[in-house]
C-alpha cells in the first residue's frame, strides 16, 4: 500500500456505511453437495479478470493499488503477508486480492443460478487480512466486509451479514464466513454481493477464496432403535440387517420428504426403490454397505441434488476374516537379552499373541511385535481392533535362548620382577582381552584387573575378570642392635619371615638374646618370591652394670668386638672426662677411676672398631 497522509486515513475512517450490520452464521444442519464453487483457479500468471459486471474495481496484472484487484497466486505486495491461497491441494493456487477503494462500497457481485425455490442455502467464503500487525505504523485500517444475498431482480434483500473488523495480525490464518438464506417461491436465482464497510487507505487489504453455495437443511441423524450410529460385524457372523430411523432436528425444515440410498463405496449412491419414509429396514447384508437418506422440505425437491440435503451415513462394515499373520522368522538370542518376535497382517487388523496354538492365554494385544526373554514357541493371531474377528489359525514363532560361555573370575598373585600367564580357560571361542590381545593366553608383568570377552559360535558372550596382585620382594630398611636383641625393619609391608642362618625362619622381626658378632640377616616372603640378605655386626652393649662385688654384672663389657682387628674403647662421665681408654685387649670397665669407685650415674662410651664407630650411654648402679 502506498503511504498516504495519516490525517487523511483518520478522515476516511470516520466516513462509513450507515447500513445496519447483520449476523453471519453457518448452516446448523446437514448440507448438500456444493452447487456453486469459485476458487479463482491456479497458475503463475495473474488473471484472468473477473467477468464484466462482477466488480467496479480495476483489474491489474501487477501491484493492486487502491480501488484495484488482481487474481494471483502471490500476495507479496507492499510488504503484505505472502501467503498461499486457501484451496486445499492447490499448486500455485490463486485468490481474489483486493486493495480497497478510498470510498466504502460494493466491490464484488455475482449471480448464482439453478437454485431451487423455497429452499434454504448456505453461502460461505474464506477471507484474510493481508496487512501485517506492524503495517501502517500500527494504524492499519481493519478489513470489514458485508455479504449480501439479493433476489434475481436485485430488489429484495434475502440476507446479509458483516465480518466486523478483522484487524491486522502477525499470523496468517484464513477465516471462513457464512450466511444462510432461503429462496422465495418461484425463485431459482440469487445475486451475491460483497462490499467494504470501511474506506480504503493504509490498510483494508484482503484476499478472498473458495466461495461456495450449498443447500442447507436439518441436522439429520440415522440410528437404530438401540441408538447404534454404525455397525461393524465379522464375516463369520453371517448376514445382518437393521431398521434405520432418520431423525431431523427441525432446525430448518418444517416438513420432510425422504429418499433412502445405498452405496458400497460412499462415492456412488443408488436410490432404494419405494423407501421414502423416515425408516428403512435394510436387506440382509453380507458385504460392507452404507446407507443415507436424502431429505427436502418439499417432496418435489427430494430428488433434486441442488435442492436436497443428505443425512449422516450409517455404516455397516463387514470385516473379512483376516489371513493368518506372516512371521518374520524364528528368533535366537543369548541369555540376558530380549528377543523381539514379529508378525504382520493386513493394515486394518492387528496382531494378538498367545502361549498356545488354540485357546491359551492372551500375552499381548494389538502389537505386531512381542518382546520376551523366555525361550519357547509363541503364537500370533490376526484380529480386528474393533470387534472379535480373528484369523482361523495362529502363526507359531519360536524363541531360542542360548547360554553364554561359562566363566569363573579369578584372583591371582605373582612375584615382583616376574611375569604371569593369564589363561581364558575355554576352547572354541574367540578372545578379546582388555590388553587388545586375541589369544587364549597372555603374558603380563603388571598388577591390575584384566578382562577377556569370550564369544562362542552362537555369538553369545561372557566376560572373565582376573584380578592380578603383585607380591613385593622384601626391602630391608634398618637393622639395629637393642641390647642383646637384633631388630629388623622393612620399608615395605608383606607376609615376611626372618632368619639369622637362612634355614630357621620366624615371623617376628626381632631376634632376642643374640650374642654379639657378625651375622647375615635373611628376609623372605612366605610365597617363596625370593630372599634378601644383609650383613650386620651385632654389638651387644649393656644398658647398665652393677659393680658391687657380687660377681654378677660387675664389669661393663660390650660383646662382639673380637671380630674387629683394631678396637679403641673410651668411657666418659657426663662432663666429658675420660675415665677409661682401652683397645682390643682391654675393652671393659670395672666402674673405677684411678682406684676410686665411680658413683651411680650415667656414663658415655665411644667405640672405634676398624672403620666403624659406636656411641651411646649406660648406667652404673650400686
Query: What confidence tens digit (pLDDT) does each residue in 70-126 have?
Result: 999 999 999 899 999 999 988 999 999 999 999 999 999 999 998 888 788 999 999
Among the four given CATH numbers 2.60.40.10, 2.60.120.200, 3.40.50.1370, 3.40.50.11540, the one describing domain 326-402 = 2.60.40.10
pLDDT grade for 569, boundaries at 50, 70 and 90: very high
If you average pLDDT over residues 549-576, what whole number do you get?
A: 90
* Range 410-471 has CATH code 3.30.2130.10: no
Q: How many CA atoms lie within 13 A of 90 on its CB side?
A: 21
Over residues 13-30, the pLDDT tens digits come to: 333 333 333 479 998 888
What pLDDT score was predicted for residue 8?
A: 31
- Coil, helix or strand at residue 466: strand
What pLDDT score was predicted for residue 252?
A: 84
CATH 2.60.40.10 residue ranges for the chain:
220-319, 326-402, 410-471
Could you tell me the strand order of the sheet in which 326-327 lies? 326-327, 339-344, 369-372
Residue ranges of E strands in 197-286: 205-216, 220-223, 230-234, 243-248, 257-263, 270-271, 279-281
CATH 2.60.120.260 residue ranges for the chain:
6-216
Can you tell me which residue has the cell 472379535? 388
Nearest to 86 by CA among 78, 96, 98: 96
Can you tell me which residue has the cell 524364528? 330
Q: Would you put residue 528 in left (φ > 0), alpha (ψ -120 to 50) or beta?
A: left
Nearest to 41 by CA among 105, 104, 110, 87: 87
If you average pLDDT over residues 404-418, what whole number do you get?
A: 95
Over residues 156-171, the pLDDT tens digits come to: 999 999 999 999 998 8
Residue 374 makes CB contacts below 8 A (sequence gap 6+) with 399, 401
CA 342 to chain centroid, in Å, comes to 23
Q: What is the DSSP string of 417-481?
A: T--EEEE---SSSEEEETTS--SSEEEE-S-EEEEEEEE-TTS-EEEEEEEEEEEPPP-EEEEEE
- Coil, helix or strand at residue 384: coil
What pLDDT score was predicted for residue 576?
A: 93
If you average pLDDT over residues 125-142, what whole number do you get?
A: 91
Q: Is the pLDDT of residue 10 over 90?
A: no
Q: Is the pLDDT of residue 587 over 90?
A: no
Q: Is the pLDDT of residue 288 over 60?
A: yes
Q: What are the beta bridge partners of residue 479?
A: 488
> Do the beta carbons of residue 611 and residue 594 sit within 8 Å?
no
Distance CA 199, CA 202 (A): 10
What pLDDT score was predicted for residue 3?
A: 34
Q: Is the pLDDT of residue 340 over 60?
A: yes
Can you tell me which residue has the cell 427441525? 250
Q: How many CB atoms lie within 10 A of CB 95?
A: 30
Over residues 30-41, the pLDDT tens digits come to: 887 788 899 999
Nearest to 100 by CA among 130, 79, 122, 62: 130
Among the four given CATH numbers 3.40.630.10, 2.60.120.260, 3.90.580.10, 3.40.50.2300, the one describing domain 6-216 = 2.60.120.260
What pLDDT score was predicted for residue 550?
A: 87
Q: Is the pLDDT of residue 11 over 60?
A: no
Extract the C-alpha cell encoding 538: 651385632
Distance CA 291, CA 621 (A): 133
Distance CA 589, CA 601 (A): 14
Over residues 476-502, the pLDDT tens digits come to: 999 999 989 999 999 999 999 999 999
Tell me the CATH number for domain 544-620. 2.60.40
Distance CA 219, CA 310 (A): 9
What pLDDT score was predicted for residue 4?
A: 33
Over residues 193-248, the pLDDT tens digits come to: 999 998 888 989 999 999 999 988 889 999 999 999 999 999 998 899 999 999 99
What pLDDT score was predicted for residue 40?
A: 96
DSSP secondary structure letter of residue 540: B
Nearest to 209 by CA among 165, 174, 234: 174
% residues pLDDT > 70 (the chain): 96
Burial 491-501 (b: 16+ CB within 10 A, else e): eeebebbbbbe
Tell me the residue length of the chain.
622
If you average pLDDT over residues 284-307, what whole number do you get?
A: 90
Q: Are strands 243-248 and 270-271 parallel, antiparallel or unpaired?
A: unpaired
Extract the C-alpha cell encoding 459: 555369538
DSSP secondary structure letter of residue 137: G
Please state the pTM of the whole predicted model. 0.54
Distance CA 21, CA 544 (A): 131
Q: Which CATH architecture has domain 220-319?
A: Sandwich (2.60)
Distance CA 465, CA 453 (A): 9
Could you tell me the strand order of the sheet in which 505-506 lies? 505-506, 496-499, 517-525, 531-538
Over residues 308-339, the pLDDT tens digits come to: 889 999 999 999 999 999 999 999 999 999 99
Query: Where does residue 270 rank: exposed (0-12), middle (13-18), buried (19+ CB within 10 A)?
Result: exposed
Q: Is the pLDDT of residue 558 over 60?
A: yes
- The fold of the 476-538 domain, in CATH, is Immunoglobulin-like (2.60.40)
What pLDDT score was predicted for residue 184?
A: 87
pLDDT grade for 5, boundaries at 50, 70 and 90: very low
Amino acid at each position: 500500500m502506498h503511504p498516504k497522509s495519516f490525517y487523511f486515513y483518520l478522515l476516511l475512517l470516520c466516513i462509513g456505511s450507515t447500513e445496519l450490520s447483520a449476523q453471519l452464521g453457518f448452516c446448523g444442519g446437514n448440507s448438500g453437495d456444493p452447487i456453486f464453487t469459485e476458487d479463482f483457479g491456479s497458475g503463475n500468471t495473474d488473471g484472468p479478470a473477473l467477468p464484466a459486471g462482477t466488480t467496479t474495481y480495476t483489474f491489474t496484472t501487477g501491484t493492486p493499488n487502491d480501488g484495484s484487484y488482481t487474481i494471483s497466486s502471490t500476495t507479496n505486495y507492499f510488504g503484505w503477508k505472502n501467503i498461499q491461497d486457501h484451496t486445499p491441494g492447490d499448486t500455485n493456487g490463486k485468490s481474489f486480492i483486493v486493495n480497497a477503494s478510498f470510498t466504502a462500497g460494493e466491490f464484488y457481485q455475482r449471480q448464482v443460478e439453478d437454485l431451487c425455490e423455497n429452499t434454504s442455502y448456505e453461502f460461505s467464503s474464506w477471507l484474510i487480512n493481508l496487512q501485517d500487525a506492524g503495517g501502517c505504523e500500527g494504524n492499519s485500517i481493519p478489513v470489514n466486509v458485508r455479504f449480501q444475498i439479493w433476489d434475481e431482480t436485485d430488489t429484495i434483500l434475502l440476507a446479509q451479514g458483516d465480518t466486523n473488523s478483522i484487524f491486522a495480525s502477525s499470523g496468517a490464518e484464513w477465516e471462513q464466513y457464512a450466511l444462510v438464506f432461503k429462496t422465495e417461491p418461484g425463485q431459482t436465482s440469487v445475486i451475491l454481493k460483497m462490499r467494504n464497510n470501511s474506506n480504503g487507505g493504509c490498510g483494508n487489504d484482503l484476499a478472498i477464496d473458495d466461495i461456495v453455495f450449498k443447500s442447507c437443511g436439518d441436522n439429520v441423524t440415522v440410528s437404530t432403535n438401540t441408538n447404534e450410529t454404525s455397525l461393524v460385524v465379522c464375516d463369520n457372523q453371517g448376514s445382518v440387517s437393521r431398521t434405520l430411523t432418520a431423525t431431523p432436528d427441525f432446525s430448518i425444515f418444517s416438513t420432510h420428504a425422504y429418499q433412502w440410498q445405498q452405496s458400497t463405496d460412499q462415492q456412488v449412491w443408488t436410490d432404494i426403490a419405494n423407501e421414502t419414509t423416515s425408516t428403512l429396514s435394510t436387506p440382509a447384508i453380507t458385504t460392507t454397505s452404507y446407507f443415507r437418506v436424502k431429505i427436502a422440505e418439499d417432496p418435489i425437491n427430494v430428488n433434486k441434488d441442488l435442492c436436497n440435503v443428505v443425512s449422516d451415513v450409517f455404516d455397516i462394515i463387514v470385516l473379512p476374516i483376516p489371513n493368518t499373520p506372516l512371521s518374520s522368522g524364528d528368533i535366537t538370542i543369548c541369555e540376558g537379552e530380549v528377543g523381539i518376535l514379529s508378525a504382520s497382517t493386513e493394515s486394518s487388523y492387528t496382531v494378538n499373541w498367545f502361549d498356545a496354538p488354540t485357546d491359551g492365554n492372551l500375552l499381548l494385544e494389538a502389537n505386531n511385535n512381542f518382546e520376551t526373554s523366555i525361550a519357547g514357541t509363541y503364537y500370533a493371531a490376526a484380529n480386528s481392533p474393533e470387534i472379535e474377528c480373528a484369523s482361523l489359525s495362529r502363526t507359531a514363532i519360536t524363541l531360542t535362548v542360548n547360554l553364554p560361555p561359562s566363566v569363573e573370575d579369578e584372583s591371582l598373585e605373582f612375584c615382583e620382577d616376574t611375569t604371569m600367564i593369564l589363561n581364558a580357560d575355554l576352547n572354541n571361542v574367540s578372545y578379546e582381552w582388555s590388553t587388545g590381545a586375541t589369544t587364549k593366553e597372555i603374558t603380563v608383568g603388571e598388577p591390575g584387573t584384566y578382562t577377556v570377552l569370550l564369544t562362542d559360535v552362537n555369538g553369545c558372550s561372557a566376560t572373565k575378570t582376573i584380578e592380578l596382585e603383585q607380591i613385593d620382594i622384601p626391602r630391608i630398611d634398618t637393622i639395629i642392635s637393642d641390647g642383646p636383641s637384633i631388630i629388623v625393619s622393612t620399608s615395605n609391608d608383606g607376609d615376611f619371615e626372618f632368619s639369622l642362618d637362612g634355614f630357621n625362619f620366624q615371623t617376628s622381626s626381632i631376634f632376642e638374646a643374640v650374642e654379639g658378632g657378625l651375622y647375615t640377616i635373611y628376609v623372605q616372603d612366605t610365597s617363596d618370591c625370593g630372599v634378601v640378605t644383609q650383613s650386620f655386626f651385632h654389638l651387644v652393649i649393656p644398658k647398665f652394670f652393677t659393680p658391687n662385688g657380687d660377681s654378677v654384672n660387675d664389669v661393663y663389657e660390650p660383646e662382639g668386638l673380637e671380630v674387629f682387628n683394631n678396637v679403641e674403647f673410651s668411657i666418659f662421665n657426663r662432663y666429658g672426662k675420660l675415665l677409661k681408654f682401652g683397645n682390643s685387649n682391654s675393652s671393659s670397665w670395672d666402674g673405677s677411676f684411678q682406684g676410686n669407685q665411680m658413683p651411680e650415674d650415667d656414663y658415655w662410651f665411644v667405640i672405634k672398631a676398624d672403620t666403624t664407630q659406636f656411641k651411646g650411654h649406660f648406667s652404673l648402679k650400686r
